[in-house]
Chains A and B, each alone.
Chain A
Amino acid sequence: MSNLLEVSGVSVTFDGYRAIRNLSFQIGSAELRAIIGPNGAGKTTFMDIVTGKTRPDEGRVTWGERSINLLKMNEARIAQEGIGRKFQRPTVFEDQTVFANLLMAVRNPRGSFACLFYRPTAKDRTRVEELASEIGLSDALSRKSGELSHGQKQWLEIGMLLAQEPRLLLVDEPAAGMTLAEREHTTDLLKEAAKTRAVVVVEHDMEFVRRLDCKVTVLHEGSVLAEGSLDHVTANPQVIEVYLGR
């Protein structure tokens, strides 16, 4: 299986602090991966690099079958290439309805003129309704998304990600602040998504990672400390020392 995303030898320095040191990471085109690591391990910086928010000092980030160089693109272009990102705290457009939020995310031409003359087609409406039922917000389509509960906002954001039809999903702590039932629902959504695309989940919560049942990458001080199944990495003495031991 060829790799969808390949990060090799990447380093970033912020004001002399080396947030990422010679990091290498690969993921296949239909794979679920969890990234764990203590605070400051560089999990969020890693996502920033892949999505184009941060430019690394050195290293390569290549994407897709044709090994496109992602470092040359801006955030919007990278998103159009098929990388979707979910932030740590739910960021939905609170002033707008759930429908408008989802419609904005549905895969369509993103240019300003295309958007100006765009009117929702029946196909797009159906797509939004499908997504809404998938994330359990069918009854809330006309509500402003700012009124939703925290968990519902998280789902709405996941729904917006799915609407983008990305080939790689980067998800930052999806289970934060969710109830047990909501967590289970989220796990199912992510596992389902990973059948057809690559999904990277950054998570603190070990229980949640265990439930994902996937390969785990442990980050520490900006580079990969261990990689393998959860049982494998948790048995690693170095991992126990830097992360689990605390």
Chain B
Amino acid sequence: MSRSFLLRNPSVLIFLAALAIFTLSVTLLSEAFGSDVISTSFVKTLGKTLCLCLVALAMDLVWGYCGILSLGHFAFFGLGGYMIGMWLMYARTELIVADSLANAAIPPTDQEVVDAIGTQIFGVVGSSDFPPIWAFAHSLPLQLLMVLLVPGLLALVFGWLAFRSRVTGVYLSILTQAMTLALSLYLFQNESGLRGNNGLSGLQNLPGVTASQAVVSIWFLWASAFALGVGYVVSAWVVSGKFGSVIRGIRDDEARVRFLGYSVEGYKLFIFTFTAIIAAIAGALYYPQAGIINPGEVAPIASIYLAVWVAIGGRGRLYGAVIGAAFVSLVSTWFTGGQVPSVPLGFYTIDWVDWWLVLLGLSFVLVTLLAPKGIGGLFDLISGRLAPNRHGADYGPDKGSLQEEEGRG
């Protein structure tokens, strides 16, 4: 992280400054600091939004920069959430069990404690034994490691199989959809060992923490902001050098990169796994704020939303992805929360809770057709970023390559 890196990428400094100002002002206006301007639940919404920005950043790296339209990155996001959720549930239940057994005449053995925890957690799916996948749930460091390892390994294996066979374009997108669907269906089963469709709940209560939710929400806001900041700097660093050149080359013309001697499959696998890990970290910070995770979270539609955010924000630029995710998910919260007044048309009343998806879909189509650079493209009006004139042709023969409208300033 040399000085010249920041000088060459002034948008990184601007972004970090904006993020810091945002986090500070939300903190000062929150209930935790005695002000009532921003409610605790809205602080949580903002904290969750920061996590969504982070996963959008990952999506932009893999799609906007490398041209791989992955429609499965929410699987990694969800897995990250599940991994941290396992520890949160175990540790909190352990405290409750220890409390209730403390008054027993005979002190409980370790095995009795573990059995009691198992009954508490898995009673809902009619079981009381810990499945093998919970082997590390008692330890925070080990389970944090799982946050990185499980999604990382899944991405590594999936990516290796897919890229090695040179699956590209829409086929790869379908394959990633199938992956996230399969994961979701698997988790829905009670036998999966992750409480089936009940999912993991009560994640907002940190074990051993007595601070109020108002304070905890601020902790998570800061943690999310920190992760987003670090993620942004690392992503900017990754795409700034020759590595960035190569992956953008892969996006625009994969065959040419191959004939330069770069192993395209290796690079794709690297970026796919790397972004899966970023997504997992985002998920691990998101679900303790959401409080609950269930298999519905990794349904195929979630990953498609992710692509929509990045497309609306402007793919191929990091701040575009962040802006897109923040803007669309906040507006979505607003619309689906029933806070937008309905529009009476006399014969029909447009209720935005129902019509929001139509509006989102419509704006996605309009952005793709009329302003392919998305919201991020507005910044070009200021900076006057110039792009080559291709007279209507796209930048490369590959399916993920930039269209001319996306490149033009």
**Contacting pair B242 A104 (CB below 8 A):** yes
- Contact B263 A96, beta carbon cutoff 8 Å: no
* 1/0 contact string of A71-86 vs chain B (CB within 8 Å): 0001111011000110
Chain A hits for B241, CB < 8 A: 115-116, 118-119
Cβ–Cβ contact A144 & B259, under 8 A = no
**Residues from chain A with Cβ under 8 Å of B395 in the complex:** 93-95, 146
- B residues near A113, Cβ cutoff 8 Å: 270
Contact A51 B245 (CB under 8 A): no
Total count of chain B residues near the partner, CB < 8 A: 31
A160–B264 CA distance with the chains assembled, in angstroms: 18
Q: Are B407 and A76 in contact (CB under 8 A)?
A: no
CB atoms of A110 and B263 under 8 A apart: yes
Our pick among A85, A94, A119 for the contact of B259 (Cβ within 8 Å) is A85
* Assembled-state Cα–Cα distance A85/B389 (Å): 26
- Whether the Cβ atoms of A76 and B262 lie closer than 8 Å is yes
Q: How many A-B residue pairs have CB under 8 A?
A: 101
Question: Do B387 and A75 touch (CB < 8 A)?
Answer: no
The verdict on B248 contacting chain A, using a C-beta distance below 8 Å, is yes
Closest Cβ of chain A to B349, distance in Å, is 47
Residues of chain A within 8 A of B238, CB atoms compared: 116
Residue of B with least CB distance to A147: B388
Determine if A112 and B267 form an interchain contact, defined as CB atoms under 8 angstroms apart: yes
Q: Are the CB atoms of B258 and A76 closer together than 8 Å?
A: yes
Given contacts A93-B245, A96-B248, A115-B246, contact A164 B261 (CB under 8 A): yes
Residues of B within 8 A of A76 (CB): 258, 261-264
Please give the distance in Å from B344's CB to the nearest CB on chain A: 48
* Contact A93–B388 (Cβ < 8 Å): no
**B261 CB to nearest A CB, Å:** 4
Are the C-beta atoms of A93 and B258 separated by less than 8 Å? no
Partner of B387, one of A80, A120, A144: A144
Q: Which residue of B lies closest to A84 (CB)?
A: B259
Question: Does B370 sit within 8 A of A, measured CB to CB?
Answer: no
CB-based nearest A residue for B402:
A95
Inter-subunit contact B263/A104 (CB<8 Å): no
**Complex CA–CA separation, A74 to B407 (angstroms):** 32
Whether B388 lies near A79 (C-beta < 8 A) is no
> What is the CB-to-nearest-CB distance from A143 to chain B, in angstroms, rounded to a whole number?
9
When the two chains form their complex, are residues A95 and B259 in contact, meaning their CB atoms are under 8 A apart?
no
| B379 CB within 8 Å of chain A | no
Q: Could you say which residues of chain B place their CB within 8 Å of the CB of A87?
A: 256
Contacts of A96 in B (CB 8 A): 245, 248-249
- CA–CA, A98 and B402, complex, Å: 18
The answer to whether residues A91 and B258 also contact, given A96-B249, A118-B243 and a CB cut-off of 8 A, is: no
In the complex, A11 has a CB within 8 A of chain B: no
Q: Tell whether A20 is near chain B: CB-to-CB under 8 Å.
A: no
The answer on a CB contact under 8 Å between B260 and A164 is yes
A94 to chain B, nearest CB (A): 5
Q: A94-B395, A112-B266, A112-B267 are in contact. Are A51 and B259 (CB under 8 A)?
A: yes
Distance A104 CA – B262 CA, assembled complex (angstroms): 9
A145 within 8 A of B: yes
B67-96 at interface with A (beta carbon < 8 Å): none
In the complex, A110 Cα to B387 Cα: how many Å? 28
Which residues of B, 353-409, contact A by the 8 Å Cβ criterion? Answer: 386-390, 395-396, 402, 407
Q: Are B252 and A93 interface neighbours, CB within 8 A?
A: yes
Which B residues are in CB contact (< 8 Å) with A93?
A: 245, 248-249, 252-253, 256, 395-396
A residues near B258, Cβ cutoff 8 Å: 74-76, 79
Please give me the residue from chain A that is nearest to B386 by CB atom. Answer: A144
- Which chain B residues border A80 with CB–CB below 8 Å? 261
The closest CB in chain A to the CB of B5 belongs to A119
Whether the pair A110, B252 counts as a contact (CB closer than 8 A) is no
Partner among A79, A94, A119 whose Cβ is within 8 Å of the Cβ of B261: A79
Instruction: Give the distance in Å from the alpha carbon of A104 to the alpha carbon of B249 in the complex.
Output: 9
Residues of A within 8 A of B402 (CB): 95
- Shortest beta-carbon distance, B285 to chain A, in Å? 25
Q: How far, in Å, is B50 (CB) from chain A's closest CB?
A: 26
A141 vs chain B, min Cβ distance (A): 14
From residue B391, how far is it (CB to closest CB) to chain A in Å?
10
Contact (Cβ within 8 A) B260 A105: yes
A93-B390 Cα distance, complex, nearest whole Å: 12
Please determine whether B407 and A104 come into contact, CB atoms closer than 8 angstroms: no
Verify if A111 is at the interface (C-beta below 8 Å from B): yes
Assembly CA distance A164 to B262 (angstroms): 11
Residues of chain A with a CB closer than 8 A to B270's CB: 112-113, 116
- CB closest chain-B residue, reference A82: B261
A100 interfacial contact with B, CB 8 Å: yes
In the bound complex, how far is the Cα of B262 from the Cα of A116, in angstroms?
A: 13
A-B contact pairs, 7 of them (CB 8 A): A53-B255, A79-B259, A100-B245, A115-B242, A118-B241, A119-B241, A146-B395
> Which A residues have a C-beta under 8 Å from some C-beta of B?
51, 53, 74-77, 79-80, 84-85, 87, 91, 93-96, 100, 103-105, 110-113, 115-116, 118-120, 144-147, 160, 164
**Contacts A76-B262, A118-B241 supplied; 13 other A-B pairs, CB < 8 Å:** A75-B258, A76-B263, A77-B263, A79-B261, A80-B261, A87-B256, A93-B245, A103-B245, A104-B242, A110-B260, A112-B243, A112-B267, A113-B270
